[in-house]
Each structure stands twice: as C-alpha cells, then as structure tokens.
Amino acid sequence: MKEYKALVFFDLDGTLLDTDSKISKENRQAMIDLKRNNILPLIASGRSPKEIREITAGTPIDSYISLNGQYNVVENEVVSKHAIPVQAIEELMAFSQTFVHSLACYTAEEYATSYTNESMKKLYQIDNAPLPKIAPDFYKEKEIYMLYLFSEEEDKDRLYRERFSEIFTFFRDSPYSMAVVLKKRSKQAGIKEVVKALGSVNVPTYAFGDGNNDIGMFEAVDSAIAMDNASGHVKSHADYITKSHLEDGIRFGLKHFGLLD
C-alpha cells in the first residue's frame, strides 16, 4: 500500500455532508487537494459501505471505517469485518419489541427490519435515505454487521446498556436512534485496524466529527477536530474547534493544521 504523509478521517452527517446529505463542491475539492498532497482522506461513519460509496462517488476517497467500525476498507480492499451472532440479534430483537422499538439489521450492502415505527421514519427522513425493507428473516440469511435501534425514549437507553453489557455497545447518535455494535467495537477500533493495515503507525492522524460516536474516533488520532455544530460534550473531547459543516469548516480546519494551502 502507498505511504502517505498523513491520514485524515471524516465523519459524514453533520461533518462532511450538507443538509441534503451531499458532499459540497468545496468539500469535494478539499478531498481532491488532500490526495494531491499525498494525504489520505478516509470516511469514519455509522453508515453502510454501500451508502459511503454512493455519497463519495466522484471523489478520490477509497478507504473508510463503516458501520461504526464493524466493516473497514483500505484502498477498496476489506481489511476487517465483524459479524454479529444470530443469537445476539434475536435477544436484542426480543427485548426491543417489549418497548415497540424497531430494529434495523445492516449488511455491507443493504438493510432490513421486521417492522417500522415513527422514530425510524424520522431518522431516515433526516438522513435522506429510504426506509429499510420489511424482511423478518433477513438477519438469519445474511451476515449482519450493525444494528440500528429506533427509540425516542432516552430514559430506556440505560436498560439496554445494562441488559446487554457483555454483548453490545450502544451509541445514541440522534434523538430517534441508537447504533448498536459488538462490545469493544467503535470508530476508534476501526481506525486502529485501518492504520495497522496501511502500515502507517507513525504517520500523523487527524479526525473531523460532530457526534457522540465520534468521541472514540477523537481518542484514536493525534489531532481531533470538532465541528462548531457539535455539542459542548463532543467539543470538550476535541483539540480544535473549526467552523460548522455549513460554513466550510472542513477546509478551515485543514488549513489550520497545514494540510491544505
């Protein structure tokens, strides 16, 4: 694999993307400029590989941590993936049904659910993404890498974390949802695997993010950059606060660290 001067990891929603879930012309050019400077831009997101490929089409991005560290790709090659056991999925599914919290199951290419609820509809509308297809046996037929739990009852989050403390990690990433991955999996874990695969342990690393699931990513890099639209909690874990994702905050932050002219 090619040797790079630096690695820069970007969250998508609220960071690299605009309100239409698109990469702006300015951010697209920034990715091109990074690659020209022999700096590798990578995505680190809760979104699926298919979504990431669609979103980054027309950019030089070919490396990503997807599904919150569950499925990771370097220069279009899968370097690590972590499937969730069927029994664990069934246990969470049964528990979530007691609260009528729907659960979506993600493979690398598609996602499905047993039923929808209002929280699910709200989340996919915000993400400008289609609702999961209804397929109750989907998780039995495919390798599942991430689960998405749809609930606006944040007071119930603790119950999930306590009940499944030995199996899952839960990231509340919106008022409507929690991403669910295997215990000890995260963007942080995915970044470590990608850096190792690249042979870039001593290369400077940077990360841009805005959400709670980006905190682990911040801990995995040398320089953590929070968007101005991030919460105070997320900002408190950053080394630098750039402008918001709607005010060319990506290029502003890259220039601050001398990664772009």
What residues act catalytically? 11
Nearest to 218 by CA among 240, 203, 201, 198: 240
Kindly tell me the burial class for residue 199, based on how many C-beta atoms sit within 10 Å of its own C-beta (0-12, 13-18, 19 or more).
exposed
E-assigned strand segments in the chain: 6-10, 39-44, 64-66, 71-74, 77-81, 102-106, 111-113, 133-134, 146-150, 168-174, 177-182, 205-209, 223-226, 240-241
> Are 34 and 204 in contact, with CB atoms under 8 Å apart?
no
CA pair distance 194, 1, nearest whole angstrom: 12
Over its C-alpha atoms, the chain yields an Rg (Å, rounded) of: 18
